[in-house]
């Protein structure tokens, strides 16, 4: 082999090696981003499910105290004006759970009963912005009470 052939061989080898390294770096970043998105999607799915369950409990409660009693399992609920409920990663009630749901109960009186507005906000761990928010309401008739 002459000198020029060796140079071309080494140059091609170098370019191929750099290309492989770039492909590996790009694919690694894609997999890391997809893993992060997968975790976020899992959390969103879980908080939507929990929020729907809490909304169903809210619809079955006749007053704020009953709502608190229905949600409070394993001492996972607190009531400080807004009911706060915690669940673990398996969606089971837990005092130190990673999913935190806040539930408001706002009653508006009317002639034949009252309408209850409820906002359910779901957080993951100690985040300040809710991951999911659900607004619901129900009518409490004085005739049925």
How high is the pLDDT of residue 12? 94
How high is the pLDDT of residue 141? 78
Helix 3-60 to helix 64-71 angle (10° resolution) is 130
The four Cα atoms 73, 74, 79, 84 give a dihedral, to 10 degrees, of: -80
How high is the pLDDT of residue 143? 59
Phi, psi of 80 (to 5 degrees): -130, 55
Residue 41 token pair: 């999607």
- Which stretches in the chain have pLDDT values below 50? none
First to last CA, the chain: 99
Phi, psi of 100 (to 5 degrees): -120, 125
How high is the pLDDT of residue 113? 83
- How many domains are there within the chain? 1
Query: Hey, which residues does 77 pair with through a beta bridge?
Result: 85
Residue 52: domain span: 3-141
Q: Cβ of 86: how many Cβ atoms within 10 Å?
A: 19
For residue range 48-60, what is the model confidence (pLDDT) as tens digits?
Answer: 999 999 999 999 9
The four Cα atoms 117, 82, 126, 134 give a dihedral, to 10 degrees, of: -10
This prediction's pTM: 0.78
């Amino acid at each position: 082999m002459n000198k020029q052939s060796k140079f071309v061989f080494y140059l091609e080898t170098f370019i191929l090696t750099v290309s492989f390294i770039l492909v590996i770096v790009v694919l690694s970043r894609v997999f890391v981003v997809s893993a992060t998105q997968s975790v976020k999607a899992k959390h969103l799915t879980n908080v939507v499910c929990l929020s729907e369950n809490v909304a169903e409990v809210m619809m079955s409660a006749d007053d704020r105290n009953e709502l608190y009693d229905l949600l409070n399992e394993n001492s996972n609920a607190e009531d400080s004006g807004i009911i706060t409920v915690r669940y673990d990663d398996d969606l089971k009630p837990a005092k130190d759970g990673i999913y935190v749901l806040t539930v408001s109960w706002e009653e508006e009186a009317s002639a034949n009963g009252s309408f209850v507005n409820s906002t359910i906000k779901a957080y993951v761990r100690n985040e300040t912005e809710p991951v999911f928010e659900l607004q619901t309401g129900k009518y409490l008739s004085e005739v049925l009470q």
